[in-house]
Every structure is written in structure tokens, then in C-alpha cells.
């Protein structure tokens, strides 16, 4: 807590950032400090809106004096990989004094939206609801649950998502939702090579009207500086790599019996070839050459804390679908803060050789995340999260 304008209020992102600098955890960076200041301003605006909403119960006493409040504009922060966007987002979300807030991976969010749309259509078919259009009621329900939405590494690749984003977020903003997002691309580059992109363009205009767009151009890749040569990414993919992963698997599973496990999701089944405890082992072909999607990877992330993946090849022009799935898989494992142990034909920065398409941008983030997931900080954090995960009652209490 601190004093601002004579009033005791919440701690600030700047205070948290300064503490990290003073402790040596991060280096002071002017570009990051600009984002820090913007995040603190946004916390103040959101807090003012929250207080005004709380006092609105007495609004009838002062009806003649009430003035309509301008909607709070969110933030869209974009910049190169490893610049500290996620770190700043985490600080903002933690310090934001709002109960109805949600920090979620965009793919998880849109999977939830599509589920809600499908349920509304079924309810309409059964005569349980009257509205034909599912978007307004879905948006109202989402806004009721959380009026501050935070997306880290915002990215649009799915055409079904792209086609409804403009209408969905128009309704969300109309219901007072504030959006805060980070991305490695500017708004105008979202869904850049997507099918029927002209139908997506209204969303870009909508986003720019409802969020301040800021660029984070720091001088260093902070993820790369954390690189620690832990034996979790083994290259080249040869006999020695296979032995290394076998040894790591034995150590990870503590000699527990390994067996195939079947996960059931949405009426179908996903086979995990080898599983022991909270560890699962797949080949690249199992995960990325089969027609799997976000729901499959989310099911794996929900069930396991560690994923082994053997034989990741170099991906070129002819492997675009496999590259899309690999990008989505790594995003999911990263967002769920999982441990990944893998053998690959090349280092992360050399795994994707194509020169065209959205995947070129996306794979920069993937390579950076693969590097970070090898770091000592990541592995130490994973160990703490795994212990926390082993006590779900305590975890739920901490999140409440």
C-alpha cells in the first residue's frame, strides 16, 4: 500500500517493477517503464470506475448531477519476443483491485465462447431462450463474470474465431468490458494471411478505438538471457538424444509403470501413448501430424504437468499444418506453465525454415518460448507449481 494524492490506495506496478530492478531480477529499461506507467494509469481508471459503480446505489439522490462516464480504454501492447510483456501483464493482473477479472489464453477464451454459442443455439432450438442471435447473451454472460479481460500473446489464426470477433467484442465493449492484451504483432498484422481477412478488418478498427496501442521495443531479449542449459531440449535428434530422453523419462517417472491412457473430450477420445503419474510422452507425429486442435492440447495440459516429445523435425514450406499445430501446442504448454522435454533436429530458432505466411511471425514466439522453457527459472518455477498442483484444495483457496 502507498499514498497517492493523500489517499491510501493499492500498490503500483511501478513499485513492483522498481523492486525487481533493485533486487537484480531485471534490468531497468525505459521502454518497459513507459508500459509500467500506462498500466498504472489504467489501474487508476479502472479503480475509479469500480468505485463509481459501487456508489451508484445512491445515484438517485444526485440524479440531476450525474454525468455519463467515458468508457475506460484498455491497452494493447505489442513488441518483439522476450521483451517482458508477459512479466508486466502478470504484475498488472495481480495488482488490479478488481474481483471480476480474468487472465486467459486467447485459445481457451475462444473455445469457451464457441461452447457458449453452441449451447445457446441448442437452447433456442429447444425453445428455452428467445434470442436468435447467440452473441449478445454470450457477451452479457462473459461481462457478468469478468469486466476486465487480459490476454497474453493475443493471436488470431482460426477462421471461425476471426469471423465473430468484431461482433463479439462490440457486444463486450458495450457491456463495459476493458481489454488488456499483449501480442508480438501490431493490430494491423493480426490474422495477416487469413482466409476472408476483409471480414476481419472491422475488428482491428474496433480494437484501436477501445484500447490504446503501445509498442514495447526493449533493447534485449530477456528470455534469451535466462537461457540455462538444462537437459530438457536435446539436439540433434539422434541415438544419443533418444537415450537422453529415455533416461530423463525414467528419472521423471521414478520407475512408475508406463501405460497408454485415454482422455475423453467432447464425445471423442485422445490416446496418450505413454503416461506415468503426471507425465505424458508422445512423438511429434502423435501430437502434430494428426488432426488435433486446441481442445486436445488443453486436455493434455489439464491432465499432466510434464510432456515429453520425441523426434521434432525441421519444418519447411510443406509442413505448414504441422507447424500450426506445433505453435498451438507450445502456446498451450507455455500458458499452463508446464515442463517440456523434447528431442529435435535443430535448435529452436532453426526449427522453422519457411519464409512466408503468418507462421513465420508466430514461430518467432514459439522459438523464444522453447528457449525460456529450458531456463533454470522456468524449471524451478515448474517445480513449485507442481507441488502446488498436488494440493488442489490449497490451490483453489489461493485463487479465490
The sign of the torsion formed by the CA atoms of 85, 343, 299, 250 equals: negative
* pTM exceeds 0.95 for this model: no
Residue 399's pLDDT is what?
A: 35
Class of domain 226-387: alpha beta
Would you say the CATH fold of 226-387 matches that of 2-52+68-215?
yes
For position 101, what pLDDT does the model report? 95
pLDDT of residue 176: 93
CATH of domain 2-52+68-215: 3.40.50.300
Looking at residue 267, what is its pLDDT? 75
CA–CA separation, 372 vs 369, rounded Å? 5
**Residue ranges of the chain whose pLDDT lies below 50:** 1-10, 57, 60-61, 63-68, 224, 226-230, 391-400
Alpha carbon distance 327, 332 (integer Å): 9
**Alpha carbon distance 232, 111 (integer Å):** 30
> What count of other Cβ atoms lies within 10 Å of the Cβ of residue 170?
17
For residue 231, give Cα distances in angstroms to 9, 97, 238, 346, 397: 45, 40, 15, 15, 34
**Cell numbers representing residue 136 in the block:** 449478445
Q: Where are the domains of the chain?
A: 2-52+68-215, 226-387
How many residues are present in the chain?
Answer: 400
Rama region for 337: left / alpha / beta (φ>0; ψ in -120 to 50; rest): left
Amino acid at each position: 500500500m502507498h499514498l497517492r494524492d493523500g489517499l491510501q490506495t493499492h500498490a503500483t506496478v511501478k513499485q513492483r517493477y522498481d523492486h525487481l530492478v533493485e533486487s537484480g531480477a531485471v534490468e531497468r529499461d525505459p521502454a518497459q517503464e513507459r508500459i509500467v506507467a500506462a498500466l498504472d494509469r489504467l489501474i487508476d481508471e479502472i479503480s475509479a470506475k469500480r468505485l463509481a459503480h459501487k456508489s451508484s446505489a445512491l445515484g438517485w439522490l444526485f440524479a440531476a448531477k450525474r454525468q455519463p462516464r467515458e468508457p475506460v480504454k484498455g491497452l494493447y501492447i505489442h513488441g518483439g519476443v522476450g521483451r517482458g510483456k508477459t512479466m508486466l501483464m502478470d504484475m498488472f493482473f495481480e495488482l488490479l483491485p478488481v474481483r471480476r477479472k480474468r487472465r486467459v489464453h486467447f485459445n481457451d477464451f475462444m473455445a469457451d465462447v464457441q461452447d457458449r454459442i453452441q449451447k445457446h443455439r441448442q437452447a433456442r432450438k429447444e425453445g428455452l431462450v428467445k434470442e436468435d442471435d447467440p452473441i449478445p447473451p454470450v457477451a452479457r454472460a462473459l461481462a457478468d463474470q469478468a469486466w476486465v479481460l487480459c490476454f497474453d500473446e493475443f493471436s488470431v489464426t482460426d477462421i471461425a474465431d476471426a469471423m465473430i470477433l468484431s461482433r463479439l467484442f462490440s457486444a463486450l465493449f458495450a457491456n463495459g468490458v476493458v481489454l488488456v492484451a499483449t501480442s508480438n504483432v501490431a493490430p494491423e498484422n493480426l490474422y495477416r494471411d487469413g482466409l476472408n481477412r476483409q471480414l476481419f478488418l472491422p475488428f482491428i478498427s474496433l480494437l484501436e478505438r477501445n484500447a490504446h496501442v503501445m509498442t514495447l521495443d526493449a533493447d534485449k531479449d530477456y528470455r534469451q538471457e535466462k537461457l540455462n542449459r538444462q537437459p530438457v531440449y536435446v539436439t540433434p535428434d539422434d541415438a544419443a538424444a533418444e537415450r537422453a530422453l529415455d533416461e530423463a523419462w525414467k528419472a521423471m517417472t521414478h520407475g512408475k509403470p508406463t501405460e497408454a491412457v485415454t482422455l475423453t473430450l467432447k464425445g471423442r477420445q485422445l490416446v496418450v501413448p505413454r503416461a506415468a503419474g503426471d507425465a505424458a510422452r508422445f512423438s511429434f507425429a502423435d501430437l502434430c501430424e494428426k488432426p488435433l486442435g486446441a481442445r486436445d492440447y488443453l486436455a493434455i495440459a489439464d491432465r499432466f504437468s510434464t510432456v515429453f516429445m520425441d523426434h521434432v523435425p525441421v519444418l519447411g514450406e510443406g509442413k505448414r499444418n504441422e507447424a500450426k499445430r506445433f505453435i498451438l501446442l507450445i502456446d498451450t504448454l507455455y500458458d499452463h506453465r508446464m515442463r517440456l522435454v523434447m528431442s529435435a533436429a535443430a535448435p529452436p530458432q532453426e526449427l522453422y525454415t519457411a519464409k512466408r505466411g503468418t507462421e513465420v511471425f508466430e514461430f518467432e514466439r514459439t522459438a523464444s518460448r522453447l528457449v525460456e522453457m529450458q531456463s533454470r527459472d522456468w524449471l524451478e518455477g515448474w517445480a513449485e507449481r507442481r507441488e502446488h498442483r498436488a494440493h488442489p484444495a490449497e490451490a483453489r483457496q489461493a485463487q479465490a
